[in-house]
Amino acid sequence: MARISTYPIDTDVVGTDILVGTDFSSGRARATKNFTVDSLSDYIKDKVSVTGQMKFKYVTQPLLGEGTFSLEGGGPVQQPFNTITKIIVSNIDRTPQEVVAFLEYLVNSDILIANQSDISLFGHYKVTAYAVNATNINFYDLTINYLGGNGSLVTNGLYNIINFVKAGDIGDKNATFTQVTPITVWNITHNLGKFPSVSIVDDAEEQVQAQVDYIDNNSLTVTFTAPFSGKAYLN
């Protein structure tokens, strides 16, 4: 075999090119084997982590092991993103890193579940609830609401789960509700995705007091002792 330095440098690298290396996982210690550029690329994508990003493999069998996620009760080979309402996620992703604290932080935030191999295949969701799986404490149930996306989950596909903020949604959200006709109870649907502070004013913009009851993070009621008209500023 000639000296390595005598071989020409390949400036046109493709996925099927072969590299020579040492395999520590084979039966023989330090066995020499060939590795394709594609296989090394897949390994790096699987193992390298980016801040704010978790990596998992989608499987159809729930609670399969570290680095996997599935649908509740399993799932088909392909599952459209727009039909998914809950995922079951391992507490360790594929890098591997412990993700429990980050998963908990994502409640009431948006996430993107994106195919590593095709950025056009993704689901955009809001995480509405998070709990330890009742069967296996090493897995967590994430309840999610679909907001947009394209395509489907595919069995054994690798996916990034990312904390995501869509352009135009950055900054604090607020809303103004106007009640023209005097009534005792104002039913306000604000769709802010949070429990906002509420300031009530009359028609002269003078602040008044009223009882505010939150129904969920997108709606509330304001109750007065008598029929009332004015505005509610939600911030």
What is the domain partition of the chain in residue ranges? 51-163, 175-234
Q: Which residues pair with 21 in a beta bridge?
A: 33
Is the predicted pLDDT of residue 213 greater than 80, yes or no? yes
Pairing of strands 68-71, 53-58: parallel
Is pTM beyond 0.75? Reply is no
Q: What is the Cα 34 distance to its own chain's centre?
A: 37
Give yes or no for a contact between 55 and 67, defined as CB atoms under 8 angstroms apart: yes
Which residues are CB-contacts of 220 (< 8 A; sequence separation ≥ 6)? Answer: 188, 190, 195, 198, 212, 213, 214
Number of other residues whose CB lies within 10 A of the CB of residue 190:
19
Comparison of pLDDT for 70 and 50, the residue scoring more: 70
Query: Closest Cα to residue 132, out of 93, 159, 107, 104?
Result: 104
> What's the per-residue H, E or C state across 153-178?
EECCCEEEEEECCCCCCCCCCCEEEE
Predicted pLDDT of residue 32? 82
Contact 224, 198 (CB under 8 A): no
State residue 1's pLDDT score.
60
Q: Reply yes or no on domain 51-163 having CATH 2.40.30.
A: yes
Let me know: does 143 contact 127? Beta carbons within 8 Å: yes
Select the highest-mean-pLDDT range: 31-40, 85-94, 168-177.
Answer: 85-94
Tell me, yes or no, if the two domains 51-163 and 175-234 fold the same way: no
CA torsion, ordered 154, 148, 74, 156, to nearest 10 deg:
20
Topology adopted by domain 175-234: Thrombin, subunit H (2.40.10)
| CB environment 105-119: b (16+ within 10 A), e (fewer) | ebeeebbbbbbeeee
Tens digits of residue pLDDT in 6-35: 878 887 777 788 888 777 765 556 778 887
Q: Could you tell me the two tokens for 38?
A: 């594609």
Contact 46, 54 (CB under 8 A): no
Residue 3, pLDDT score: 77
User: Mind listing the pLDDT tens digit for each residue in 167-211?
Assistant: 555 567 788 999 999 999 999 998 888 888 899 999 888 889 999
Whether a cis peptide bond, with omega within 30° of 0, leads into 96 is yes
Q: Is 38 helix (H, G, I), strand (E, B) or coil?
A: helix
Q: What average pLDDT does the segment 49-66 reach?
A: 84
